[in-house]
Chains A and B, each alone.
Chain A
Amino acid sequence: MSEALLTVQDLRIHSGEHELVHGLDLTIDRGERVGLIGESGSGKSLTCLSLMGLLPDAVTATGTVDLAGEGDLLGRSEQAWSRLRGDRLAMVFQEPMTALNPLMRVGAQVAEIIDLHRGGGRAGAGRRDSSARAVELLAGVQLPDPARAAHAYPHELSGGQRQRVMLAMAMANTPDLLLADEPTTALDATVQGQVLDLMRAQVRDAGTSLLFITHDLGVVASICDRVLILRHGEVVETGEIDRVFSAPQHPYTKALLAASALRTDPTSGRLVTIIDTSDPSDPSGPADSVDRAPAPVARPAVRPTVPTPGPHEVIAADGSSLVFNRTAGVAPLLAVTEATRTYTRSGGPLGRSVRVEALKGVSFDVRPGQRFGIVGESGCGKSTLLRILTGLDAATSGSVTVEGREIVGQRDSRLRWLRSAVQIVFQDPMGSLDPRMRVLDIVSEPLRGVTRDERYERVVELLEQVGLPRSATDRFPHQFSGGQRQRIAIARALITRPRLLVADEAVSALDVSVRAQVLNLLDDLMVEHDLTMVFVSHDLHVVRHACDTVAVMNAGRIVECGPTQAVFDNPLHRYTAELLRAVPRLDAA
C-alpha cells in the first residue's frame, strides 16, 4: 500500500516575478486519499492545475512532479500531457455546469473520454461499446435511469447530477489519480453528502488515489486520510487527518480549525479569528496598498438581552397557515402574512408558459432586536422571500409590513422610507460593488440630500466602524480583498441608519477566517446600531452562531421555526433533521 504514486518535490509556481507557491513537497501513495486545504489565494488550485499540466500561459511551474512509471511530468509537451489526462490523471472541477459541454449529450461526453484513450473511435463497434460503457458508468454513479440520463443535456440535470456525470467521466478510464478541486462547494448540503459518499466509494473500488482540494475542513474530514494545510503558497502543516484535527501543531491550523467550527472565545463570547502570523514584509501583499485599520474602539463584550424567544413550531401536516414566531405584546418590526410569489415563465414561441410557485404562503413575525435566521437549500424560496422583504420584488399575494407600513403592491417611488429603514447585504462582495465606482461613492449611494462634507464625514465614520481606514474612500473595489469588500458592503447598508438589516448569504463567499471576523463585526454593529437582522443562509453552522431564532424553509414554505438552540437540538420536522444530518462535521473524521 505504501508504493508512491505521485511524488512532488519543491514545486514552485510563478506568475511573472511573483512566486505563488513556494516549494511544495507532496507524496501520494497508491489508493491514498489526501486533502489539500487552504483559503483563497493559498495556491491550492494552482498546485492542482500544475499537476494536470493545465496552468495558464502566464504562469509557470518548476520543480519535479514524478508520476510512477512516467518520470517527471513538468515541461512535457501538450501532447504528452493529453495522453495522461483522462487516462492516468483525471480531474473534477468545482462548477459542473461550466465543465460540461452544454451542447453535447452527457452520454456522448462520457463515451468520448473512453474513446480518446482507446486509440480513438475507429470502428462503429467500438463506438457502440463505449456508449454502452458510458451508460454503465452513469449507472455506477447512481444516476436514476442511466439510459435516459445518457441522452440528456447538462442543463436538464440538477447540480448534483451534473457533478455525478463529471465523476463518471473522471473515473471512466480508472485513473491512477483523481484530482478534485472543490467538487462539492457549489452543491447543497444534502446533495454534497451524497456526492462525497459516492466519490469515496468510487475511488476505493477503483483503487484510485485522490487529491481533494477544498477550503472546507468538514468535507475533508469525511473523505481524506491525510491532509496538507496550505497558506500563502507554503505547507504549514501536514499529517494524518486525525492527528492534525485533534492535535494541530501550527498556530494557523489551530486558528483555522477554531474558525471553521465557529468556536467562541470563552472570555469575550466572540468568535475566534485567525491571527496574522505572516511576515509583514510579505512580498505577495505590499503593505502600502491599504493602511492597517485603526485600532477598534473598546466595545461591550456582553451581548444585549435577547428578546424573549418565540415558540418552537412546525408546519401543520395539511399545510394550513400558521404565523411563525408570532409576537405577543410587542409590535413586530417585520410582519409577513401569507406571502406568495408565482412566476410565469414563458416557454418560448411554441412552448406553453409554465407557472412556478416560488413562495407558497409564508407567514412570520420578527420582533425588534431579534436575529432571525432563514435556512434552506437552493430553490427553497429564501432568496425570493428576501427580495420581497426588501421591496425589490413584489409578492403575488399576501402582505408584508415593516414597522406597521405595508410594502406589497407599492411602487418604487412610494418606498423611499423603506429604503432607509431596510438595507441589504448581498452574498458576493465582488458583484455587489460597482467595479467602476470609488468606495466613497459606493458607501454613500443610499444617502440623499446631504452636503459633500457631511457625506464624506459619514462615510469615513462608517468605514472606521467596519474597520477600514479613511484612505479607502478613493479606492476601487478590486483593490480590496473579499473580506474587505464585504465590509464596504456592510458600511453601505448601514449609512442610512436602517432599523432592519437583511443579509443574503453575507458570509458564504468568504474564507473561514474572514467569515468569523465579518460575523463578529455584524455582531458589534447590531449592538451599536440597535439593529434587527434577517439572516438568510444555506449554512446551518453560521445561522446557529449568528441568530437567536431560525426558520427552516423547504419548497416555498417555512416548515419549522423556533429558538435556534431548540430547533438544532430537537428538530421537529423531518426535513430539518435531514438537513442537520447532512452537514459535514469536523468530528466525523
Chain B
Amino acid sequence: MTATPDLAPAARPARPSRRTLGSPLIVGACLVGFVVLVALVSLVWTPMDPVATDAVNRLQPPSSEHWFGTDGLGRDIASQTMAGARVPLLVGAVAVTLSFLLGVPYGILAAMTDRGTGRWLMRWNDIVQAFPPLLLAIILAAVFGGGTATAMVALGVGAAPGVARIVRSGTRQVLSREYALAARAAGRGPLYTAVRHVLPNIRGVLIVQASVGFAIAVLAEAALSFLGLGTPAPTPSWGRMLQESQAFLYVQPLVILWPGLAVAITVFGFNLLGDGLRDRYDPRMEVSR
C-alpha cells in the first residue's frame, strides 16, 4: 500500500451557526433561566412574607411598597408570584422525570419485542393515553386526597404514553440502521443495544420532549390548582392565585394579571426552548452528520 489518499480527513460539514441572539433557543433559555432564578431567590428572599395577610391593605394597586399590589386577603402579590414559581417547577420536573421513567423503557420494549407483542403493548398505551390526565388527577385526589404529590403522579402518568410513543418510533428508526444489526452480529443482546445504541441516538428527541413536556406540566399544574386539586393553601401557587383572584376580577383586574403572566412566560419559555432544541437535535434536520 503505497498510497493512502482516502486517509485524508473528511471535509468538515459546513454547519452555519444557528445560535444567534434572538433565536428561539436563546430566548427560551433566558426566559426559563429567569423563572428558575426567581424560584430559587424566593427560597431565601421575597419582598415581603408571601403568606402574611393584611386586612387593612386589601386589593391595593401596585405601589412602591407592594410592587404588584395586594390580593383579597392583603397579601403581597409580588412575593406570592415569586414564591408561586416553586411548585409548578417542582411539579414539572417530577412529572417529566416520572413520565420518562415509565415511558422510555415501555417504548423501547414495545419497539424491540416481536411485532405482535409490540402492537399489543402500544394498544395498551393508546388506552392510557385516551384517559384524560385531569380525570386521573380527580380520581387520585378522590382516593388519596388532593395535593402536590397527587398532581405530580397524575401528570407524570398522563404524559408517559406520549413519551412511550415517541421513544418507540425513535427506537424503531435506530433498530433499522445497520449499526444495530452489526451489534446483533457482534453477539450483543437487546439490553446492550438499548443502552449503547438506542438511548444515545434518541437523546435529542428526548430532550425536546422533556422541554415541551415541562411546559405542558406547568400549565396542567396551574389548571389543577385552579380546580383545587393541586397544592393546598397556604403554599403559594399560580393556579390557586388565579382561582382566588377570580372573585375580584371586576374590583381589581390587575390581581389576576400577575399569576397569569407568570404562567404564560414560563410556558412560552419552555416551548421556545423546545423549539430551539428541536432545530438543533431533530435528526431530520441533521443533514450533514
Contact = CB atoms under 8 A, between A and B. Distances in A.
A448 interface: yes
Interface stretch (A88-96, A106-114, A194-202, A288-296): A288-296
B16 interface: yes
B16 A58 contact: yes
A484 B179 CA distance: 16
Given A424-B185, A433-B179, A445-B183, A483 B11 contact: no
Given A41-B11, A434-B201, A482 B187 contact: no
A101 interface: no
Contacts of A273: 1-3, 5
A467 interface: yes
A275 interface: yes
A420 B11 contact: no
Interface in A1-47: 15-16, 18, 41
Interface in A454-484: 467-468, 478-484
Contacts of B201: 434-436
A521 B177 CA distance: 25
A431 B5 CA distance: 22
Nearest to A476: B289
Interface centre among B5, B181, B185 (most CB of A within 10 A): B185
Interface of A, helix, strand, loop or mixed by DSSP:
loop
Given A18-B14, A492-B182, A285 B5 contact: no
A275 B186 contact: no
A442 B185 CA distance: 13
Contacts of B197: 434, 437
Interface of B, helix, strand, loop or mixed by DSSP:
loop
A517 B2 contact: no
B10 interface: yes
A492 B10 contact: no
B165 to A, nearest CB: 20
Contact of A420 (B1, B12, B187): B187
Interface residues of A, number: 67
Given A58-B16, A419-B185, A420-B187, A478 B6 contact: no
Interface string A251-292: 000000000000000000000011110100010111101101
B123 interface: no
Contacts of B178: 426-428, 431-432
Given A15-B14, A448-B187, A289 B182 contact: no
Contacts of B1: 273, 296, 467, 517, 520-521
Contacts of B179: 431-434, 437, 442
Contacts of A278: 5, 8
A446 interface: yes
Given A423-B185, A478-B289, A434 B200 contact: yes
8 contacts: A16-B14, A58-B14, A276-B4, A392-B181, A437-B200, A480-B9, A483-B6, A484-B6
* Closest 5 pairs between A and B when the two form their complex, measured CB to CB: A419-B187, A483-B6, A289-B9, A446-B186, A276-B5
Interface of A: 15-16, 18, 41, 58-59, 273-276, 278, 282, 284-287, 289-290, 292-293, 296, 390-392, 412-413, 415-416, 418-420, 422-424, 426-428, 431-437, 441-442, 445-446, 448, 467-468, 478-484, 489, 492, 496, 511, 513-514, 517, 520-521
